[in-house]
A and B are shown apart, each in its own frame.
Chain A
């Protein structure tokens, strides 16, 4: 009887651990999906010129380094997006990988931008790194940097 009870307790503990791990995995998966969805939303908002939507996912203290090495605040970045929207035709994210460290996530990816500048068409490829931090239930981007792919 004692043996059976010990066995039941053991199974209970294992089941408890399994559901805890599953819940954590679910939580991790949901955070990943959430952040990647925000990345896509950012691209789409940029293409639509929806500055309100972009502003909502960026921290007010955002540090943004553009592909030309310019250091921009959130306001400066939004102004630049507004200027670029007149000649930017398409932004295509190519691939993204996400690494999560608790309440911080790093997204690295590549993108292509197509547009027309001074009457000439251009096509740029770049790599970006975005840093996301969770504040309460929300993930917010606190830093982003883009670099032209030259290699």
Chain B
């Protein structure tokens, strides 16, 4: 009898597990879209889109080790001396912990800075937190890797 009960319990749990896993997959896809939207907004120097993606308490560590808050990061992105041409994310991975998501990936950025062409590849880790229905990035850290 207990075997039958276990079997039913397993059957009952299967759709629940499937639902949870599809919910996680949907959340992961959503966060990856936000990462790509971030690149697009940064490339277009779209301050209002960036403000929506980033939490007010954002801590941002750039690839040279410089620590910035949200206002400093926005000022850096919108500086006329920085003209990004391409921002592409590669091999992104999302790890979910309930209302927290960790994204790791590689970003390849090219452009012109202070009149000079640049090309950098950096590994980043972003921490996203869900506030009711929306996700916001609260921490971002990048480290240079070999080209």
Contacts and interface: CB of A to CB of B under 8 A. Distances in A.
A133 B100 contact: yes
Contact of B95 (A61, A68, A104, A149): A61
Chain B contact-residue range equals: 20 to 34
B80 to A, nearest CB: 20
A142 interface: yes
B67 A142 contact: no
Given A67-B143, A133-B100, A101 B138 contact: yes
Interface string A49-74: 00000000000010101111111000
Contact of B104 (A103, A129, A143, A151): A143
B82 to A, nearest CB: 15
A142 B65 contact: no
A31 interface: no
A5 B63 CA distance: 62
Interface in A117-151: 125-129, 131, 133, 142-151
A146 B67 CA distance: 12
A149 B64 contact: yes
A143 B129 CA distance: 14
| Chain A interface, DSSP helix/strand/loop, else mixed | strand
A69 B146 contact: yes
B138 A106 contact: yes
Interface residues of A, number: 34
18 contacts: A63-B93, A67-B143, A69-B144, A99-B59, A101-B129, A101-B138, A104-B97, A106-B59, A106-B139, A108-B59, A108-B139, A127-B61, A127-B67, A129-B141, A142-B95, A145-B61, A145-B142, A147-B64
Interface of B: 57, 59, 61, 63-67, 93, 95, 97-100, 102, 104, 122-125, 127, 129, 138-139, 141-146
